[in-house]
Amino acid sequence: MAKQKVDEATIIKESLKLFRQTSYHTTSMADIAKACGLQKGSLYHYFSSKEELMMKVIMSVHNFFKEEVFTLAYDESIAPLVRLDQMFSRATSIFVNKETGEMLGNVGVETALVIPEFQPVIQEFFQDFFNAVKKVYTSKYSDIVANELAERAVAEIEGSLLLARIFNDNNFLKNTHKRLVARLE
C-alpha cells in the first residue's frame, strides 16, 4: 500500500480554502489536488465527483458553526447579552479568517442557483443561524419581534460580509457586530 499523503479532512479543508478564495467554479480539481500535493485523478479515490466534494465542504462548514457558534445560543447559564456577543464575536472571527472563513454566503448563492442539490443544505445552514439568533432575542422580546430581529441580524451580517469582501475592509463586520449587540441592551 502506498503511503497516505493526506486524509479526507485535509482535502476538505484545502478545498474550503480555495472555494472561499476563488469561488466554486473557478477552482479546478487540479487546483485542489495541487494544494494537497496530489494528482487530480487521485482525488477521485476520496470523492466521486467535484459536487460530492463540495457537498462535504458545505456540511463541514455547517457542523463547524453548529459546534462553535450556534451552540452558544442555547447555553442558559450565560446571560443573553453575553451569549449574543460571543456568538457574533466568534462568527466574525471565523468570517475574517482566510483559512476557514465564511463561504456559504457568496459561494452559497453562486452554487445554489446553478446546482439545485446544494440549495437545501445551504438553506439549512441559514435556518440554523436564524434559529440561534432568534433564540437569544426571545429572552427579551416577544416571538414576533425576536423573529424580525433575527431575520434582520442575519441579513445585516451577510450584507456586511459582502461589503467587507468587496471593499476589502473588515470594519463593515465589526460595526455590524457592535450594532447587533447594542440592540439587546
| Residues that bind a copy of itself in the complex, under the rule CB under 8 A | 21-23, 25-26, 105-106, 108-110, 112-114, 119, 122-123, 126, 148, 151-152, 154-163, 165-167, 172, 175-176, 179
Q: How far apart are CA 44 and CA 184, in angstroms?
A: 49
Q: Which does 50 bind (CB under 5 to 8 A by kind): a copy of itself, DNA, none?
A: DNA
Q: How far apart are CA 136 and CA 86, in angstroms?
A: 11
Residues in the chain: 185
Residue 168 binds to DNA (criterion: CB under 7 A): no
Please report where in the chains the cell 456540511 appears, as a residue: 59
The radius of gyration computed from the CA coordinates of the chain, to the nearest angstrom, equals: 18
Conformation bin of residue 78: beta by default, left when phi > 0, alpha when psi is -120 to 50 = beta
Check if the beta carbon of residue 79 is closer than 8 Å to that of residue 86: no
Nearest distance from C-beta of residue 15 to DNA, angstroms: 11
Q: Which does 175 bind (CB under 5 to 8 A by kind): DNA, a copy of itself, none?
A: a copy of itself
C-alpha cell of residue 78: 450565560
Nearest distance from C-beta of residue 111 to DNA, angstroms: 12
Q: What track of x and - describes contact with DNA for positions 19 through 48 (by CB under 7 A)?
A: --------xxxxx-x---xxxxxxxxxx-x
The 3-state secondary structure of 33-57 reads HHHHCCCHHHHHHCCCCHHHHHHHH
Query: Which C-beta is closer to a copy of itself: that of 16 or that of 38?
Result: 16
Binds DNA (CB under 7 A): choice among 50, 62, 134, 135: 50
Check if the beta carbon of residue 163 is closer than 8 Å to that of residue 175: no
Nearest distance from C-beta of residue 98 to DNA, angstroms: 21
Q: Which does 2 bind (CB under 5 to 8 A by kind): a copy of itself, DNA, none?
A: DNA
Query: Which C-beta is closer to a copy of itself: that of 42 or that of 174?
Result: 174
The size of the interface with DNA (CB under 7 A), counted in residues, is 26
Please report where in the chains the cell 451552540 appears, as a residue: 71
Interacting residues toward DNA by CB under 7 A: 1-6, 27-31, 33, 37-46, 48-51
